[in-house]
Structure 1
Amino acid sequence: MASGAVGARTNGGAELFPRNKVLSVSDQLATNVGQLMAPAQKGLLGRLRRGIEKEGLRVDSKAAIVQTLHPHSLGSKLTHPHITTDYSEALLEYITPVYCRPADALSFLGDLVRFTYRQLDDEWLWPASMPARLSGNDSVPIADYGTSNVGTMKHVYRKGLDVRYGRIMQSIAGIHYNVSLPDDIWPLLREQEGRRGESLQGYRSARYFDLIRNFRRNSWLLLYLFGASPALDRSFLGEDGGDNRCDKLEAMGQRTLYAPYATSLRMSDLGYQNKVQEQLKICFNSLSNYVGTLRHAISAEWPDYRRIGVEVDGEWRQLSANILQIENEYYSDIRPKRVARHDETPTQALEARGVEYIEVRCLDLNPFLPLGIDEPQMRFMDTFLLWCLLSESPWIPDEECDRLDDNRRLVVERGRDPDLKLRIGDRHVPLRTRGHEIVDGLREVAGLLDAIEGDGLHAAAIETIARRLDDPELTPSAQMLRALEAHGGEWTDFIADLAKEQGRHWRSTPMDESRAELFSQLVETSHQQQHDIEAEDRVSFARFITDYFQRAREPRSAA
C-alpha cells in the first residue's frame, strides 16, 4: 500500500499557516460579520437551507430489534425519496426535502413518522441512538434492495460492512444534518477577501473546506451539548454481554452499562470505529486532497480484506478487498457533499461541480425529543456552522489532527467531568472555558442570522443551549442518567417506555392530508420504479461492478 498517498493530510501546505493560534472572536470573524450585516439588514442575503436525515430502529413490544421485512406499505426502500433504510432491514431512514425554515423541515419529518405508524402494527420506533436489545450479530438483518444490479450492489456493500466490522455497530442510529449556505454570500465574501480572480465554484469549495476544518477543531462542543448516549444495553457488547471494551463502563441494574461522565458513546470507540480507516488521515485541507485520498482508498487493497475474499464460490462477500468498498464507507463527523448524477460517484460530483452543501454526522438522537432534534438545536447548529465559515481557518497539520481526535475522544468518554481539559493549541484549557470562548463568537453570528430572518430566534437558541456549559446537568446525557436512575436503572426498559409513549402520540395526532396523499402516491410510484429498474438490467452483476469501479477511478474536470 502506498502509505504516502494515504497519509496526505496536509497536501504539503500546512506549514505556511500558524499552528497554534486560538480562535475566539477573531478579527476575521468580526470583519466578516460586520461586512455582511448591512446586506443582511437590507434583505440582500438569502436564508440557509437545510434538510434532515433521521434514522431509527423498528422494535417489537419486548424492545428487541424486529426481524420483519421493511413494510411494503411504506414503499420501495430502493427508490422512495423520503423513506428508506440504512444498514439494516429494521433501520428506517427518513429524508426531508430542503427547507429554508427549520419548522418546515420538522413538520415534514413529523408527518413521515405519522405515516409510518399508520403502517405499523405491533412495532415501535426506537428513539435512541444506541440500539434496542440484540441477540448477537445475526439479529441485525441486512437490508435487501431487490434483484437489480443497483439493489444488489447496495446489499453486497452491507454484507461487506458485516464481514469488516460486524452488524452490531451498524445498528446505531443518528441524525444527519445537511446545510447549504446562501448562494449570494459567496460573491460578497470573495469580493471582501480580494479573491475576484478565483472562480466562484473554486472559491465556494475552498471556503466550505475552511468551514469543515473549523468544524473538526470544535465539533467536541456539539458532542458535549447534544450527546445523548451515555448508556447502553449489555447485549450491544456481544452475546455474553461484555467484551474487552467493558472496562470503560459501570453497571446500572442487571442489563445496563454506562459511563458516568460520557456524552456520546455512539461516537466513542464503543460505537462507530474503523482502525483501517485511520490510515487515511483525512483532515480536509483541500478538495483535491480529499478526493485523491478517497479515490486511492477505493483502489488500494487491504491484506485482511483480501483474505476475506470478494466473490467466493459464487457468493459475494464484499464489493472489493480495498480499504473502502465505496466512498460512503468512509466515516467522518462531517462530509462535503454534492448531489451526484446517475453516472457519478460522490467525489466525482464534487470534483466536477464543487461542494454544494455539508453533512453533519455526529448528532445523537435525543430520546426526550419526539423527532430526536428540535428547532433550537437546529438554529444553534446553523449558527455554529456559519461561525465555522466566517472564523479564521488555517490548514490542519498532522500533529494538530491527532490532537483534535484526542479532544473528541475525551469529550465523548467524559465530557461532563469537571476536571476535563482540552488541548487547544499549546494550552490545556477547561472545556467550559473554551466553550464560552466559542459562544462569544456564536453570539456575533447569531445577530447576523437574526438580521437575515428578521427575528431573534438564533440568539435565543444560543443563550438557552449555552447554559449547559455552566450546568452539565442540563445536557441530554446527564438528563438520561438521571431519568435512568429514577426509572429503575434499566436503559432498554426506559427507552422502550419512551418509544411507546411517543408512538401513541404519533398515532393519535393528525397529519397534513396533502402529505398523506403524497406519501401514498410515492408508495405506488416507488414500487413501480424499482420494478422498472430491475426489468432494464442488461448485464451481469459482475460486469456491472467492474464497470462501476472503472468509472469511479476516472477523474472529472471542474465545470
Structure 2
Amino acid sequence: MFTLSEPLASVIARLKAPAQQGQIGRLRRGIEKEGLRVDPAGRIAQTPHPHALGSKLTHPHVTTDYSEALLEYITPVYCKPHDALAFLGDLHRFSYHYLGEELIWPASMPARLNGNASVPIADYGSSNIGTMKHVYRKGLDVRYGRIMQAIAGVHYNVSLPDDLWPLLREIDPQASDTAASSDADYRSSRYFGLIRHFRRNSWLLMYLFGASPAIDRSFLDGKPAPDWLEAHGSDTLLSPYATTLRMSGLGYQNKVQEQLKICFNSLSNYVGTLRHAISTPWPPYQALGVNQGDTWQQLNANILQIENEYYSDIRPKRVTRHNETPSQALEARGVEYIEVRCLDLNPLLPLGVDAAQMYFLDTFLMWCLLSDSPWIPDDECDHLDDNRRLVVERGRDPAMRLNIGGELRSVPERGHEIFTELEAVAELLDILEEGSPHSDAVRGLAPLLDDPSLTPSGRVMARLKETQQSFAEVMLALAREQAEQFRREPMDAAHRALLDELIETSHRQQGEIEAGDEERFGAFLEGYFTRAREPRAARAV
C-alpha cells in the first residue's frame, strides 16, 4: 500500500489549521480555448473572422490564434470553475449568433484541409503591432508550415492564493537558505518547483485528458504516414493506443527548439535561455530570408522570432506592461501564474473541458507545488521527454512502461501512487468548499487508470470503431449537435451586454491604434527587439 511521502504529509498537516481558519484562500483560474471555424461540410473556413465578433486585435475575450479561422476564447479570471465555464459557454452562444452556417470544430486535430494554403493566416489590421502579429505568423509558416498551426487546445491559467505564500515560507525547511530573498523571489522559486514536478508527471494529464488518437489524412498534406499510424477507412489515420496526437511528433514539436534544453530549474536560467534564443541567428532561417523592402516573411532569422514561439507543456507567466516582453515581466516582478498547455479539447464535451477536469487540475497543480521538486539534470530531462512520448503514442497500451526514477513502471501502478497523494491534497483544498468537489474529481478519474477505454481518447476511439465513420464524420456530427445546443441556450444578460458593447469598443480601439502609428514598420520592429534584449532588474512588487 502506497503512503504519502513524509515531507508532503508534513506540509499538508501544517496547512490544515490555516485552511480551516480561512487563511489560505482560493485558486484563481482562467481558460483560453481554441476552436476552428468550419463550413457545413467540415472544411476549414476560408471566411474572415466575423466583424460582428469585434476586433481580434483588441477584444479581450474573442480573438484568433494562428489562423483567421482559429477562434480563441479567453475568460476573465475566476475563483470558481463554474463561473469560468459559464462565461466560456456564453462566448460560444454569442459567437453562434454571427456564424451563420459555420460550426466550431470540437476536436484538437483540425478539420478537412486542402493543403498548406487552405489555412488562412490571421490578419490584425494595418497598425505596427497588428502587422507584427501577422508577420510572426508568416514566419511560423515558412519555418513549420501552417497545418501544424491549425491544431487547437485548451490553455489553463492558474494563480495560487496570495495568502498561501507566507504560510509556505514559514513552514519551508529550506526557506532559511533564502531568508534574504524577496517575497517575489520566493514565490518564483516555488512556482519553478511546481513546474519541475509538473514536467516529471505531465504524462498523467496526457493519459487522463488526451482526446486526439486519430487525424484526418489531409493533415499530412500528402506526406507518408509514420509507421505507427494505421488506416481507418480511406480518410482517417489512427494509433490504436494513442492518447494525444496533438502532443506527438505530428503536433507542436520543434527539433530546433530541442537544443535549447529548458528544464525550468530557475527563473534566471529560463529567462536567459529565452533571451539567447530570440537573439541568436539560426542558419537555415537565415537562408529563408527575412524581408525584401516592405515585404516581410518572418520577424527575424533567430532561433525564436519572439518568446511565444517556444513550445512547452507549461509556462511561467506574468501580465506584461507597456513595452515589456513576457520574460522581462518575469524578470522584473517574478512569476504571477502558470499556464498549462498540454490539454486537448475533449470533443465529447460542448466546451472541450468541464468542472471535474478543472478541479482535478487544481488539485494536481497544488500537489506539484507542495511536493519536493529537486532540479532536473539533463539526463532526467531526456527521460521525461521519453515518458511523455510513450504516453502520447501508446498510453493505453497495457504493455507500455514508463521510466520512473530508473525503474520501469506501468501507468496504473505509478498512477495509483500519485492518486493517493492527490486525494490528500484534495481534502486540503475541500476545506474551503461546500461539499468535496476536488475529492470527487480525483475519485471520479481514478477508474481511468485501470480501464483505458474510459479515457477521452479511448471513448473517441470506440466511437470511430462503433460507427465505422471517419474522424471527420464523427467530429462533424458532434459539431452540429453542440451548435444546436448553443443556439438553443439563453445567454446571461450581463455577459450579453458586455459582449455587445465590446464589438464597437474593440473596433474603435483598433482604429485608434492604427491612426496613432507614425513609425515605419521596420523601425518599429528594430526598436521592439532592442528593448526585448534588455535585462530588467527586479523591482519591488
Deviation string, structure 1 residues 27-71 (Cα, Å, up to 9, x no partner) = 221111111111101111110000000000000011000000000
Distance 1:199 1:552 in 2: 25
Letter in 2 for 1:110: G
Report whether the alignment pairs 1:216 with 2:199.
yes
Distance 2:327 2:434 in 1: 37
Report whether the alignment pairs 1:200 with 2:183.
yes
Distance 2:322 2:106 in 1: 34
1:118 alignment partner, one of 80, 85, 97: 97
User: Shift in Å at residue 453 of structure 1?
Assistant: 2.0
**Aligned partner of residue 246 in structure 1, secondary structure:** coil
User: Shift in Å at residue 454 of structure 1?
Assistant: 3.9
**Aligned partner of residue 247 in structure 1, secondary structure:** coil
Distance 2:332 2:537 in 1: 5
Report whether the alignment pairs 1:169 with 2:151.
no
User: Shift in Å at residue 496 of structure 1?
Assistant: 0.2
Distance 2:67 2:367 in 1: 36
Equivalent position of 1:149 in the other structure: 128
Deviation string, structure 1 residues 499-529 (Cα, Å, up to 9, x no partner) = 0000000001100112111101001000000
User: Shift in Å at residue 197 of structure 1?
Assistant: 3.5
User: Shift in Å at residue 313 of structure 1?
Assistant: 4.7
The TM-score normalised by the length of structure 2 is 0.98
Aligned residues of 1:230 and 1:258 also touching (Cα < 8 A): yes
Report whether the alignment pairs 1:190 with 2:173.
no
Report whether the alignment pairs 1:372 with 2:352.
yes
The TM-score normalised by the length of structure 1 is 0.95
Question: How much is the aligned-residue C-alpha RMSD, in angstroms?
Answer: 1.0
User: Shift in Å at residue 485 of structure 1?
Assistant: 1.5
Deviation string, structure 1 residues 206-226 (Cα, Å, up to 9, x no partner) = 000000000000000000000
Report whether the alignment pairs 1:108 with 2:91.
no
Distance 1:497 1:173 in 2: 18
Letter in 2 for 1:147: S
Distance 2:476 2:157 in 1: 29
**Aligned partner of residue 359 in structure 1, secondary structure:** strand
Structure 2: give runs of 5+ residues left out of the alignment: none
Letter in 2 for 1:107: A
Equivalent position of 2:380 in the other structure: 400
1:354-373 pair list within 5 angstroms: 354-373=334-353
2:399 alignment partner, one of 391, 395, 419: 419
Distance 2:481 2:469 in 1: 19
Report whether the alignment pairs 1:249 with 2:232.
no
Equivalent position of 2:38 in the other structure: 59
Distance 2:137 2:461 in 1: 33
**Aligned partner of residue 324 in structure 2, secondary structure:** coil
Deviation string, structure 1 residues 300-348 (Cα, Å, up to 9, x no partner) = 0000000001112531010000000000000000000000001100000
Letter in 1 for 2:405: G
1:304-323 pair list within 5 angstroms: 304-323=284-303
Equivalent position of 2:160 in the other structure: 181
Distance 2:460 2:285 in 1: 39
Letter in 1 for 2:419: V
User: Shift in Å at residue 157 of structure 1?
Assistant: 0.1
**Aligned partner of residue 403 in structure 2, secondary structure:** strand
The 1:93–1:64 alpha-carbon spacing in structure 2 relative to 1, beyond 3 Å, is: same
1:296 alignment partner, one of 271, 276, 281: 276
Structure 1: give runs of 5+ residues left out of the alignment: 1-22
User: Shift in Å at residue 548 of structure 1?
Assistant: 0.2
User: Shift in Å at residue 455 of structure 1?
Assistant: 2.4
Distance 1:551 1:25 in 2: 47
Distance 2:335 2:31 in 1: 18
Distance 2:478 2:234 in 1: 20
Letter in 1 for 2:211: A
Distance 2:411 2:99 in 1: 44
Distance 1:302 1:419 in 2: 41
Bigger drift between 410-419 and 430-439 goes to 430-439
The 1:24–1:138 alpha-carbon spacing in structure 2 relative to 1, beyond 3 Å, is: farther
Letter in 1 for 2:172: E
Distance 1:278 1:197 in 2: 35
Aligned residues of 1:47 and 1:453 also touching (Cα < 8 A): no
Deviation string, structure 1 residues 230-266 (Cα, Å, up to 9, x no partner) = 001000001x3xx244312001111010000000000
1:342-357 pair list within 5 angstroms: 342-357=322-337
Deviation string, structure 1 residues 77-122 (Cα, Å, up to 9, x no partner) = 0000000000000000000000000000000000000000001111
Equivalent position of 1:499 in the other structure: 479
Letter in 2 for 1:216: R
Bigger drift between 478-487 and 81-90 goes to 478-487
Report whether the alignment pairs 1:230 with 2:209.
no
Letter in 1 for 2:283: P
Distance 1:283 1:396 in 2: 6
Report whether the alignment pairs 1:510 with 2:493.
no
Report whether the alignment pairs 1:73 with 2:43.
no
Report whether the alignment pairs 1:462 with 2:445.
no
Equivalent position of 1:325 in the other structure: 305
1:140 alignment partner, one of 119, 122, 127: 119
Bigger drift between 195-204 and 427-436 goes to 195-204
